[in-house]
Amino acid sequence: MVAVPKEIIDIAGEAVKTLVTVSPEGQPHAIVCGSIFVTPDGKAGVGEVLMKRAAAYLKANGKASLLITAGPKSYELILANPVRLDSGAAFEDMKAKLASLKLPCFGLWMFDVAEIWNESAGPDAGKKVA
């Protein structure tokens, strides 16, 4: 697990956040998720709302990454150790946030951030951040 730099935390709130999972056959599957969050201590989470295939793929092999993009700034977070929560304080917090948007919350997927890559438009594109 790696620490997530403040710049990434700062842009995550307003960014387009894309969760990418992989089918058991190796086919990538990408979805935009508004409920994705990242913490400075190297954790990431996403509320399970409509992510039927993504959830099935996470259960099958656990492979995932997260792309956070705000304007020309973009970072890929390689995720590891997925755990699905359907009870507890973190789940209840996500459930309440999604309920305020009139969305269901069937689970909360939590991950360790294993690596971070700069995917921004600029000279640092493709460089490992952490």
CA 45 to chain centre: 6
Other Cβ atoms closer than 10 A to 112: 17
Q: Structural domain tally of the chain?
A: 1
* Segments forming the whole domain that contains residue 101: 6-118
Is residue 123 domain-resident?
no
- Residue 13: per-residue pLDDT: 84
- Whichever domain contains 92, its CATH number is 2.30.110.10
Span 85-91, average pLDDT: 97
Q: What is the overall mean pLDDT for the chain?
A: 96
Place of tokens 């990454």: 65
Place of tokens 């921004």: 120
**How far is 89 from 86, CA to CA, in rounded Å?**
10
Residue 121 neighbours by CB under 8 Å, 6+ apart: 72, 74
| Token couple for 18 | 């894309």
Is residue 1 domain-resident?
no
Is residue 129 domain-resident?
no
Is residue 128 domain-resident?
no
| Token couple for 24 | 């058991």
Instruction: Kindly report, residue by residue over 7-48, the tens digit of the pLDDT.
Output: 999 999 889 999 999 999 999 999 999 899 999 999 999 999
Span 43-71, average pLDDT: 96
In DSSP terms, 108 is beta-bridged to 47, 85
Place of tokens 């209840």: 92
Contact 73, 16 (CB under 8 A): no
Contact 78, 38 (CB under 8 A): no
